[in-house]
Structure 1
Amino acid sequence: MDIKNNIKPISYIKANAAEVLKQVNETRSPIVITQNGESKAVLMDAGSYQEMMDAMAMLKIIAMGEKDIAEGRVLTHEEVGKKLKEQLDAL
């Protein structure tokens, strides 16, 4: 994805909203919106946004797991098996 080709001023977005939305949804390539020559926002299709949010959630879960490992909050395979068996027996 070459973001340099997808930088548009807000005035262009306002004048061509339907066309811009069509482009974003067809290409799934985000558009950087500028105002007074500075980037201010990114316009992206809903599917790509959801995929990005899902990936961020997964990365947060991985980071939490790495922190648990670093702080010694881990169980052996045998300990997990024992805990699961205890929970099943309690049912």
Structure 2
Amino acid sequence: MTKLRVDEDSRPLSGFGAGIASFVKQVNETQRPIVLTQHGRKVAVLIGIDEYQRMQERLELLEAIYAAEAQIKKGEGVPHAEAKAMILKRWRT
């Protein structure tokens, strides 16, 4: 995702309904999210679907890493050599 430019990428929520097509066009063209504001406060973010999917994939990976770290702390991990053997066995079949 391209870095958010708050001065350029903030829009009031009151204009969202009438300007939704232009908001979506801006997100797609700039590859930057738009921050929607209400009474001067940030309330929501509009992002493109591709970026949303990338974020979901990264989140799933991070959750798997956190789960693995928790398992290791509990002593539930698999030694490297054993894990490597399991992966190679699955890969070869």
Give TM class, smaller chain.
0.7 to 0.9
CA displacement 1:6-38 (0-9 Å, x = unmatched)? 111012323322111111112221001011111
How many pairs were matched up? Answer: 84
Structure with greater Cα Rg? 1
Unaligned residue ranges in structure 1 (runs of 5+): 85-91
The 10-residue stretch of structure 1 (46-55 or 12-21) with the greater mean CA deviation from structure 2: 12-21
**Counterparts of 1:48 and 1:81 in 2: how far apart (Å)?**
33
Q: Which amino acid aligns with 1:2?
A: L
Specify the alignment match of 1:73 in structure 2: 76
**Counterparts of 1:79 and 1:29 in 2: how far apart (Å)?**
44
Unaligned residue ranges in structure 2 (runs of 5+): 87-93
Residues 52 and 81 of structure 1, relative CA distance in 2, 3 Å threshold: closer
TM-score (structure 2 length as normaliser):
0.76
CA displacement 1:45-68 (0-9 Å, x = unmatched)? 111001001100000000001111
TM-score (structure 1 length as normaliser):
0.78
The 10-residue stretch of structure 1 (2-11 or 55-64) with the greater mean CA deviation from structure 2: 2-11
